[in-house]
Amino acid sequence: MRSRKPRRAAPEPEAAPEQAQAEASEPEPEAAPVTEEPSGIAAEIERALQAAQQPTEAVAEEAPPEPEPEPQAEPEPQAEPEPAPEPAADPAAIEVSVPVPSSNGDAAVAEAAEAAEEEEDPALARAFQPGDWFVVHTY
């Protein structure tokens, strides 16, 4: 690919000092600021940057006003939430109540109550009464 700059001819050896002095005396042109408007994606980025730097009040003026909510007469009373169902227990830890049969159980309860009385523990004696239910734990 060729460059677009024209090549300079090699200076003649005699003119070299004069040309160097002439180039030194000429002021070099300064680079002019680029004032071209960006196009495409660059333009969109530039607009977004400028919009971000502007105060938000200008954006608020451009946005249409939000509609006001209509006032409601009275809020409807909400029903109390239903209690959440209890989580299912581990089947191995379920307590099962089994009634003691009266024909056989009453005698066992009576014996336990008598044994508690013999030990003179009134709390234990009150714990076993005929017709009581017992809880059987299965593990």
Q: Are the C-beta atoms of 92 and 136 separated by less than 8 Å?
A: no
CA–CA separation, 31 vs 43, rounded Å? 23
> What pLDDT, on the 0 to 100 scale, is given for residue 14?
56
| pLDDT bracket for residue 132 (50, 70, 90) | confident
Could you report the per-residue pLDDT of 54-112, keeping only the tens digit for each? 766 555 556 666 667 666 666 566 666 666 666 665 655 556 555 545 555 667 777 77
> What pLDDT, on the 0 to 100 scale, is given for residue 97?
57
How much is the average pLDDT of 22-40? 61
Q: Are the C-beta atoms of 128 and 112 separated by less than 8 Å?
A: yes
CA–CA separation, 18 vs 42, rounded Å? 47
Q: Are the C-beta atoms of 116 and 105 separated by less than 8 Å?
A: no
CA–CA separation, 70 vs 72, rounded Å? 6
